[in-house]
Amino acid sequence: MSNQSYFANYFSVISSRLGEVDSYLLEEGAQMIASAADRGGKIIAVGNGGSAAMASHVSVDFTKAARVRSINYNEADLITCFANDYGYEHWVEEAMKAYADPIDLAILISSSGTSKNIINGAKAAKSIGLEVLTFSGFSSGNPLRALGDINYWVESDSFNVIEMTHHIWLVAMVDYLVEKLR
C-alpha cells in the first residue's frame, strides 16, 4: 500500500468514526455542561496518557473559550500522592472525593473503557451526585460505557483513532457552547 493510500484510508476511517455519533447526544452533552456552569458547578475532565492530555486541552478550552470553569487532575504531585496513598486504581476516585461538588459535571475518558482508575472515578462521581459524560472505545460492552449519563463510544480498536475522535467530539462541544449557548 502506498503512503498516499495509507493516509487516505486512515483519514477516511477517522472521518467515518466522527460521523457515527448522534449529533443530538453531542448537543445534549454540551447543554449538560452549560447547565453545570449555570448552577455554579465546574467541569472535571480526567483521562490517562493521551486522554489526560486531551482532558487538559479541553479543560482549558472550556474555561477560556466557552467561559465554563473547568479543571483536570494532571498535576504529578496530586496523582502520585493519591496513587501512593490509595493505589493507582483509586487515585481518581479519591481526587473526586476531595475536589468534586454535587453540582459539578465529570468527563471521564478511557480509550479502552477498562481503566480501573477511570471506572472508579466515574462511580465516585455518580455517588457524589455529579452528572457524568464518558468517552470510550474498543468493546461496546466496556465497563465505563455503562456508567455515564451520556456515554460516547467509538467503534474502533485503534487508540489513535479513538483518541482523535474523542478529541474532536469534545472540541466540537466547546465550539457549540461558544457559538450557541454562551
CB-side neighbour CA atoms (13 Å) of 81: 9
Average pLDDT over residues 145-157: 97
What does 99-123 look like in DSSP terms, one character per residue? H--TT-EEEEEESSS--HHHHHHHH
Q: How confident is the model at residue 75 (pLDDT cuts 50, 70, 90)?
A: very high
Query: What CATH number is attached to the domain comprising 28?
Result: 3.40.50.10490
% residues pLDDT > 70 (the chain):
97
In angstroms, rounded to a whole number, what is the distance separating the alpha carbons of residues 108 and 48? Answer: 10
In angstroms, rounded to a whole number, what is the distance separating the alpha carbons of residues 81 and 180? Answer: 40
In tens, the pLDDT along 21-37 reads: 999 999 999 999 999 99
Report pLDDT for 180.
85
Q: How confident is the model at residue 4 (pLDDT cuts 50, 70, 90)?
A: confident
Percent of the chain that is helix, strand, coil (3-state, to 5): 60, 15, 25
**Residue 129 confidence (pLDDT) above 70:** yes
Average pLDDT over residues 5-24: 94
**What is the domain count for the chain?**
1
Q: How confident is the model at residue 181 (pLDDT cuts 50, 70, 90)?
A: low
User: Which residue range is the domain that position 132 belongs to?
Assistant: 3-181
Report pLDDT for 76.
94
In tens, the pLDDT along 41-70 reads: 999 999 999 999 999 999 999 999 999 999
Q: Report pTM.
A: 0.95
Report pLDDT for 140.
96
Report pLDDT for 3.
67
